[in-house]
Amino acid sequence: MKVKLGRIKSLEKSLGKLSNTDIDIKIAYKLSRFLKQVVSESVLLEENRIKLVKKYSCDPKDEKEKGQTSVNPDKEQIFFQEYGELLEEEIDIDFSLISIEELGDIKLSTLDVLNLEGIVFEPTENLVSESEDGKK
């Protein structure tokens, strides 16, 4: 499955929430393997974001006084351009989709459902039967 790096943080959060629910053990195992890969990519993304911040940071003397590293205002545009390009990169993660039926009766927020788009799907036969019911 291809995932843009820009989705990694939101996926990590929603998968973490999903992994804390009571679901079938096989699905829980599948999700935990996927979450492990997502967390690994999230760590790499953060490491590279920090490198980019350091690359475009302010004068080291100023940083010591503030106690943190920040992007030089004169270099913000190039920083955001490079970071934006990084977030557009797609990575391959080994995962097969999970149907909503496999998750059982769980509760998720609308935001979590949006974040899990492309990971969790509604079987086509349900969509067909619902649309046919609506026509009757």
> What is the reported pTM?
0.76
Which pLDDT belongs to residue 125? 52
- What distance, in Å, lies between the first and last C-alpha atoms of the chain? 38
Q: What is the rounded distance in angstroms from the CA atom of residue 7 to the CA atom of residue 127?
A: 26
Domain range for 67 is 2-135
Which pLDDT belongs to residue 9? 94
Q: What is the rounded distance in angstroms from the CA atom of residue 10 to the CA atom of residue 117?
A: 11
Which pLDDT belongs to residue 127? 47
Instruction: Name the pLDDT band for 136 (thresholds 50, 70, 90).
Output: very low
Distance of CA 32 to the CA centre of its chain: 14
Number of folded domains in the chain? Answer: 1
Which pLDDT belongs to residue 1? 86
Which pLDDT belongs to residue 59? 67
pLDDT in tens, 22-31: 888 988 999 9
- 91 C-beta neighbours (distance < 10 Å), count: 16
Which pLDDT belongs to residue 66? 60
pLDDT in tens, 53-103: 999 987 666 555 566 778 889 999 999 999 999 999 999 998 888 888 888
| Percent share of the chain, pLDDT over 90 | 43
